[in-house]
């Protein structure tokens, strides 16, 4: 999939765009979606949600 750059000002919009990419790519498994999300969030933002990433 082609993930858009993360928008820290509009995370809900970013997740909506990412869901569209998942649909187009035929990705339906939550575990796969989770891995794509954590792979595309910049480190500085990942730090803010560390607990969610390390204990999904």
pLDDT tens column, 1-56: 888 888 889 999 999 999 999 999 999 999 999 999 989 999 999 999 898 888 87
Residue 56 tokens, joined: 């999904």
pTM: 0.80
What is the C-alpha separation between 15 and 5, in angstroms, rounded? 11
Q: How large a percentage of the chain has pLDDT more than 70?
A: 100
The CB-based long-range contact list for 6-12 (8 Å cut-off, 24+ gap) reads 6/40, 6/41, 6/42, 6/45, 8/45
Domain boundaries, the chain: 26-55
């Amino acid at each position: 999939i082609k993930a858009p750059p993360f928008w820290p000002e509009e995370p809900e919009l970013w997740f909506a765009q990412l869901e569209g990419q998942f649909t187009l790519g035929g990705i339906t498994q939550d575990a796969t979606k989770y891995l794509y999300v954590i792979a595309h969030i910049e480190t500085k933002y990942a730090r803010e949600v560390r607990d969610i990433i390390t204990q999904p």
